[in-house]
Amino acid sequence: MDLAKYGPWALIVGGSEGAGADFARLLAADGFKLVLVARKPEPLAELASELRAKGAEVRAVPADLADPAVLARVRAATDDIEIGLLIYYAGANNTRGNFVELPEAVTQSVLQITVLGQANFTRHYGGLMAARGRGGIVLGGSLSSYLGSPTLAAYTGAKAFSRIFSEALWAEMKPMGVDVLHLNIGFTATPAMARLGMPVELAEPTATVAREGLENIANGPVWIISTPGNLERARMISGVEDRAETVLRHAIVPRDQTAAAARELQELAKEG
Ligand SMILES: NC(=O)c1ccc[n+]([C@@H]2O[C@H](COP(=O)([O-])OP(=O)(O)OC[C@H]3O[C@@H](n4cnc5c(N)ncnc54)[C@H](OP(=O)(O)O)[C@@H]3O)[C@@H](O)[C@H]2O)c1
């Protein structure tokens, strides 16, 4: 990763475990200094120690992205340094239910983390990058950004926002010297998914997500992780016609059907 274009500091929001930790390891190996943000202090401290032992300078910021004051908290740890790379990769969904029946706090948190969070962090750090004429922004995305799924209305809607927002930003910021990428992933083997009891043995390793994200930062606005089946699914669910049929047939399945769906995706990939 080009330290002169995207350094000297990278801010990884969601940078304690899963793909966020892999981003941090890859960037530290390339000489980046790191600011890591996540809620649980222990995994954050553990990763920071691991990276410091390898010579990296690291600031760890325990903070909750659902808190509307989170940007101020993170800024307190970054206002004296140059963030040349923002990776915003947090906000997996762990609560499903009909939108009108879920507690308001659940859906507000989804919108705060993915919609307002991505917008607010991008405005602040992207503005500073534009003033310097260089930098990069990677926003965490999902194949679910192509299709509204029942019981996941706020989550799938928020991911759609992220993808469309990234596309517009990509075009706006390219002439400013700043690369923007919506990193679009499918089912990925993260600790968050494992804690939900999902069959992570069938999922993409997080190291692939981080490596492809960094390698393709200049190939925006959207990069779909190259796992067989991802591109085929994106094509299948993103057409403009027959939306009713598409939603009814291809929405994200309930968690106990995830393994069967992952296998079906692998078959789809084999058929090309
Ligand atoms: N895993 C998948 O199959 C999958 C599929 C499609 C898209 N995605 C997207 O990929 C991203 C990462 O998902 P993930 O599965 O790794 O789970 P995740 O729960 O988003 O966790 C990723 C990182 O973010 C931190 N984090 C989560 N919620 C946070 C919050 N409210 N405030 C601050 N930090 C927070 C986590 O640490 P703490 O828990 O300690 O805060 C962890 O370091 C999400 O945007 C998700 O929507 C994931």
Q: pTM here?
A: 0.95
* Tokens at 110, concatenated: 């989804």
Domain count, the chain: 1
pLDDT bracket for residue 140 (50, 70, 90) = very high
Judged against a pLDDT cut of 90, whether residue 179 lies above it is answered with: yes
Task: Give the catalytic positions in this structure.
Answer: 155, 159
CATH number of the domain residue 182 falls in = 3.40.50.720
CA of 72 to the centre of ligand 1 (A): 20
Pocket of ligand 1 (CB under 6 A): 14-20, 37-40, 43, 64-66, 89-92, 113, 140, 142, 185, 187-188, 190, 192-193
- For the stretch 58-90, pLDDT in tens is 999 999 999 999 999 999 999 999 999 999 999
- For the stretch 1-33, pLDDT in tens is 999 999 999 999 999 999 999 999 999 999 999
Q: Choose among 87, 89, 85: nearest CA to 185.
A: 89
| Domain span at 159 | 3-271
Q: Calculate the average pLDDT of the chain.
A: 94
94 Cβ contact list (under 8 Å, min separation 6): 192, 196
Q: Choose among 164, 166, 165, 146: nearest CA to 156.
A: 146
- For the stretch 145-171, pLDDT in tens is 999 999 999 999 999 999 999 999 999
For the CA of 204, the closest atom of ligand 1 is 3
Per the document, the length of the chain is 272
